[in-house]
Amino acid sequence: MNFLFSRRWLLAAPAVALALGGCQSGGKSGAGQPDLLQANLDTTVRPGDDFFQYANGAWLKKHPIPTSESSWSIGKEVQDEVYARLLALNKEAASANAAAGSTQQKIGDFWATGMDSVAVDKQGLAPLKPELDRLAALRTPADVQAAIARLLPLNVNALLGVEIDQDAKNSEKMALYLYQAGLGLPNRDYYFNKDKRTTNIRNEYGGHITKMLTLLGEDAATAQRHSAQVVKLETALAGSSRKLEDLRDPYANYNKMAVADLSKLTPGLDWKAWLTQLDLGKVDTVIVGQPEFYREAGRLLRTTPVEDWRAYLQWQLLHTYAERLSTPFDNENFRFYGTVLQGRKEQRARWKRVLDDEENAMGEALGQLFVKEYFAPETKARYAKLTENVVAAFREHIQALTWMSDSTKQKALVKLTRITPKVGYPDNWKDYSALDIKRDSYAANMMRANQWNYRFNLNKLGKPVDRTEWGMSPQTYNAYYNPSNNEIVLPAAIFAIPGLKDADADDAIIYGYAGASTIGHELTHGFDDEGSQFDEKGNLRNWWSKKDRAAFQQRVNGIVRQFNGYTVLDSLHINGKATAGENIADLGGIVIAFDAFKKTEQYKKGEKIGGITPTQRYFLGYALGWQSHQRDETLAQRILTDVHSPASYRVNGPFADVPAFYEAFNVKPTDKLYRPDSARVTIW
C-alpha cells in the first residue's frame, strides 16, 4: 500500500539547460533571448476560451511527439537532461576499475550488462530457465501456490499483491497488506468495456500472449489454447477487482484481520505455508484491501486446472522480464504495450530504457551522485524557503474559511503544522551494500534487484517506522504527499525549468510552476477527499465534526460534477470521482500559492515583463508545468487508469474556478471557460 498522491505521473526525454534554482528577479531565458512565457503563447486563442492552448500553443507546435514516445511534455524535457547526466555517470562507472561491492561497480556492471544487446540475444531465455523449469514441473494446486510465492520476490505479481507499509490506523507500526493484483492489462475495465477501442485492445491481447508463448517454444495450437486459458483466468480476477474510483476509499480498502481468519475468507488455501515461504510466517495480522478479490482468487486456485495456472504463471514471468530478454521478446512486448496500448511508433533508445531499469533497481545510488553534481545546498535552501511561504499562505486560508467551524479549523491547523517537507534529496541514503550486481546477465541483475527490494521492504516489519525514507529518487520529475507520514516529498528534478536559468526565473514563474503545481498541490493532498481522512499523526481517523465534513463533501461533489462533464476523446470523459483528489489539489495549490506570491516584491511593484503583468505571469507559470500532449491511445489509457486528469484540464479546469484568473485575463461570460459564480468550486 502506498497512498502516494503525486503531482505528475513520471514522464520521461532533447537535452536542455535546467534551472534547479530559486526565486530570482528577471524574465529573460538568457541574454538577448525572448521571455520564456511570451515565447510559448498562442495568441490566436483567447485566454478565456482555452488557457492551456493560449499559454502553451507555441511550445506544443515546436515540440511534436517523437515516434519513440507516447507523449511529450516539459517533464520529458527535464528527464532528457537527467538522462544525459546519468549517461555520463554510467559510462564513467562502466569503464572504471571500481572496487567490488562499491556503488560505482554496481552502477557500471548494471549499465554494461544492459547495454550489451549481443550478449542478451545470445543468452535468450537462459536467465529465466530455472524458474521456467520449476513451472513446467507444477502438478498440484499446492505446487501452484508455492510457485506464486516464489515468483513474488522477483516482482512477478501473479495473483498476490503483497506490500509492507505503515498501518493506516496506526502509523507507528509497519503492517502486511494484501491487494488485488495479477492482471496483464492495465486494469479491470480493459476486460469488460465494450467500446471499439478497448475491445480491439482486448482482442490484440490474446494474440500477444499467444505470440509470447510461441517464442517460449510452444507450437501454435498449444500457445493459442494456453492464451485463451490465461485470458479467461485474468478475466475472472478482473471481475472481482475494484474500479479505479473505488480504490480511493481508505476505509473500504482497510480490512484488518488475524492471519488465521484468512482461511475463512479463502477456504482451502494454506495461508500458513504461503506466508512462511514468503518469510512472513511470524505475522499474525494482515490488512486485506479487497476481500472479494481474494475470495475469488481462493476459488480459482481450488477449481482451475493446474495447466491453466502453469500457462498463466509462465506468461506473467515472461511479461515481467520481456524487455530484458532477447530481441524477439523485447520487440513483441513493445508491439503490444508500446504500440497497441500507447500508440508509439518505435522503441525508445536502449540506453534510456536501461537507465529506467537502473532507476528502479537502485535509484538512490544514482541520486547521491546526481545531487552532488547538480543540486547545490543553497538551491535546496531556496526551495525550502518557498515551501515555508506556501505553508504560511495555506495557514491563512484555513483561518479564513467560512464553511468550517473553529474547532475543526484548529485541528486542520495542527495537521498543517505537522506536515514534514522533504526538499531536494534525502538526509539519509539507502544502503545498497547487500545488492549483488554482476556482469553476467541483464535479466539476472533485474531479478537480483527485485529480490533485494523485496527483502528491503520485508525487513521493515517489526522495526520502528523510518520517517526519513523517500519513495522517490532526487532525479525524479515528480512529487508526492504521504498521509501516513504526513509529509510532502519534493525531489530536486521537479523544480527544473528547461531553457530557463536560475538567475532569469522571476518570482511569478517560480510561484506558479513550483509553488502552486508542486508545493501547494502536495500540501493540499493532505486535505483532499482522501488525505483529509488522516490526522496529524498520519492515522486514518475522523478529526472532523459531522457538519464540517458534510460541508466539505458538498464542495468535493461540486468538483466531481465539474470534471465528469469534460469529454476528452470520443465518448471517453474524465472520471470525476477517481480524479477528485488531484483536481482538489490542483485548485488548492493555485489559490494558496497565489496568496503567497502576492507578498513578493514583484507582485507589489506590478511591473510587466515581456508585456505580461505579474499576476498573468503567475498563471502562465502554472500552465508552463503542464506543457504536454499525448497520442490518442495513451490518452485513452490514462482516462481509464490514471487518477490525474489530462494536462489541459489540469489548467483549464481549476482556472475556471479562480476569480483572480478571470480578473487577470478579463474572462467574460461569452468565453468558453467562464463559469458563473454559483457554479465555481471553492474548497481551500
- Among 18, 157, 47, which residue's Cα sits nearest to residue 672? 47
CA dist 214 and 201 (Å) reads 20
Distances (CA, A) of 181 to 152, 161, 234, 239: 11, 5, 10, 12
Answer whether 523's CB lies under 8 Å from 488's CB. yes
Give the distance from CA 58 to its chain's centroid: 28
- The string of pLDDT tens digits covering residues 136-174 is 999 999 999 999 999 999 999 999 999 999 999 999 999
Element housing 199 (H / E):
helix 196-216
pLDDT of residue 28: 46
Measured from the Cβ of residue 407, the count of other Cβ atoms closer than 10 Å reads 12
Place of cell 508463448: 213
CA dist 275 and 304 (Å) reads 22
Measured from the Cβ of residue 326, the count of other Cβ atoms closer than 10 Å reads 18
Distances (CA, A) of 202 to 34, 95, 191, 235, 640: 48, 45, 7, 11, 14
- The string of pLDDT tens digits covering residues 298-348 is 999 999 999 999 999 999 999 999 999 999 999 999 999 999 999 999 999
Q: Which residues is 257 bridged to in the sheet?
A: 286
pLDDT of residue 542: 97
DSSP-assigned letter for residue 374: H
DSSP-assigned letter for residue 396: H
The predicted model scores a pTM of: 0.94
CA dist 411 and 405 (Å) reads 10
DSSP-assigned letter for residue 268: T
Measured from the Cβ of residue 462, the count of other Cβ atoms closer than 10 Å reads 9
Farthest-apart Cα atoms in the chain, separation = 78
Query: What is the torsion angle, in degrees rounded to the nearest 10, for the CA atoms of residue 268, residue 270, residue 272 and residue 276?
Result: -160
- Among 204, 62, 144, 80, which residue's Cα sits nearest to residue 493? 80
CA dist 456 and 370 (Å) reads 23
Enumerate residue ranges in the chain where pLDDT < 50: 1-31
Give the distance from CA 425 to its chain's centroid: 18
352, exposed or middle or buried, with CB in 10 Å at 0-12, 13-18, 19+? middle
Q: What angle do CA 391, 392, 393 make, to 5 degrees?
A: 90
Q: Is 275 helix (H, G, I), strand (E, B) or coil?
A: helix
Query: Could you tell me the domains of the chain?
Result: 5-15+46-86+353-430+469-679 (3.40.390.10), 126-324 (1.10.1380.10)
Give the distance from CA 243 to its chain's centroid: 18
pLDDT of residue 499: 84
- Among 240, 297, 295, which residue's Cα sits nearest to residue 264? 295
